[in-house]
Chain A
């Protein structure tokens, strides 16, 4: 398994995956930074505002980014017509396992950068809101779980169709509907797994139209939503493994 993972790492190096995964985190953080974080009225809600804003940013950026990561991970074998060779050199389990492990490591980077970025924003803009490690941790795990779900789903699509248009097309459509779902009734949002960046939020917002000031308040952690995402992750992974096992070369 270690050899297979090493081979995947070498492929990732040749594909220049590192700039791509870092770019995803940078894009999300740069976008979050365009919110009025230094506004004195916002400082008392600084961390909550960043977490709320990042969930909207994630709804747009992450579905497409995960499609890009998932598609690139398998497309390298499709373009090189390498599946036949690989299946004779290594077990299908080790190939799939190595790809899933590397993919998960890549998926991990963006939530970690967002976590670090949130802390950095707090220091740079001197938020007066007390830092809640539990809320930050919850945000990290939920973002990671939804990202992983989307990544495994897109990887599965890439496995199923040699043509990468369905995976990327789904990425664009998920980004779009994920953003729309943010402004739809919660009952509708809960139907879309790729919109769970909003469903798993532990921060609520009230916008006062007369003063044009947003206030944020904590809401109980929606543990059921995280459980749904984790369960879906498991199902999608199993479906992906089934596809790899049965794939004709």
Chain B
């Protein structure tokens, strides 16, 4: 059943306009990051680490969460149109599979986005900046680690987008969450706020690893926030019913 749900969600993404955002947002972040890096070479230590911070700082601070919210709101939008909610409430599929299917597809999107961010980072680093050698494997690890933090945001926003029928409102909430996340991360409280997990995982504002020696608490925080959102999604979906109008 879960496989059917995933297939249905994947079908929604075919030729969807959301891919334009997927392509453009990391591209703009990469172009700006590279320009900024080249403009500030007298302040920055040249190298892959500082190029990474310039590429990902604003992307992970403020724009990753709204982008993820856009993905999740898009996956719920069809269900909120017309009488489709009643339709999905009556399909012979365990209700949580509907949520889980969306989660896995949104996570796949986020994983692809992160790979696109990393590919642009390597491409611009080699061809535009002309950095010697290849980026350290540690940076690829940070990009993948960011998706673990992203999982919590996806799980949370699937619940928010399920509850709020409006397509746009969850995206504004994500921006607010991201701004608060920047504050939490600055205060070293990143593990206590789901929107700050991704930026901590990405290590986007320091050249040295922010989570050095704290990987365990980070993974635990990602797991706890994701499971809390799963529980909320499970509870809400099982208590929700058809809407009679």
Q: How far is the CA of A15 from the CA of B17 in the complex (A)?
A: 25
- Closest beta carbon of chain B to A227's beta carbon, Å: 28
Mask, B18-43, CB within 8 Å of A = 1, is 10110011001100100110000000
Mask, A177-212, CB within 8 Å of B = 1, is 101100110000000000000000000000000000
Measured between beta carbons, the chain A residues less than 8 angstroms from B17 are: 161, 163, 165-166, 169
Interface residue total, chain B, C-beta cutoff 8 A: 36
Mask, B168-188, CB within 8 Å of A = 1, is 110110011001000100000
B62 touches A179 (CB 8 A): yes
Q: How far is the CA of A41 from the CA of B32 in the complex (A)?
A: 32
B58 touches A179 (CB 8 A): yes
- Closest beta carbon of chain B to A180's beta carbon, Å: 4
Mask, A1-44, CB within 8 Å of B = 1, is 00000000000000100001001100100110010000000000
A176 at the interface (CB under 8 A from B): yes
Q: Which residue of B lies closest to A73 (CB)?
A: B168
B172 touches A65 (CB 8 A): yes
Q: How far is the CA of A230 from the CA of B244 in the complex (A)?
A: 46
Q: Which residue of A lies closest to B29 (CB)?
A: A176
A172 at the interface (CB under 8 A from B): yes
- Closest beta carbon of chain B to A168's beta carbon, Å: 6
Report whether over half of chain B's contact residues are helix, strand or loop; otherwise say mixed: helix
Q: How far is the CA of A137 from the CA of B190 in the complex (A)?
A: 38
- Closest beta carbon of chain B to A27's beta carbon, Å: 5
Q: Which of A31, A81, A171 contacts B179 (CB 8 A)?
A: A31
B 40-61 contacts with A by CB, 8 A: 58-59
- Closest beta carbon of chain B to A106's beta carbon, Å: 13
Interface footprint category on A: 35 or more
Measured between beta carbons, the chain B residues less than 8 angstroms from A177 are: 28, 32
A 61-108 contacts with B by CB, 8 A: 61, 64-65, 67-68, 71-72, 75, 79, 81
Q: Which of A30, A75, A175 contacts B168 (CB 8 A)?
A: A75
A169 touches B167 (CB 8 A): no
A231 at the interface (CB under 8 A from B): no
- Closest beta carbon of chain B to A171's beta carbon, Å: 8
Measured between beta carbons, the chain B residues less than 8 angstroms from A145 are: none
Mask, B77-119, CB within 8 Å of A = 1, is 1001110000000000000000000000000000000000000
Q: Which 3 A-B pairs have the closest CB atoms?
A: A68-B168, A180-B32, A169-B21
Q: Supply 9 A–B pairs (Cβ within 8 Å), ascending by A.
A: A64-B171, A68-B169, A68-B172, A72-B169, A165-B16, A166-B20, A168-B73, A172-B25, A172-B171
Given contacts A71-B168, A169-B70, A172-B21, 12 further A-B contacts (CB under 8 A): A30-B179, A64-B175, A72-B166, A79-B80, A165-B74, A166-B20, A168-B73, A168-B171, A176-B25, A176-B29, A176-B63, A180-B58
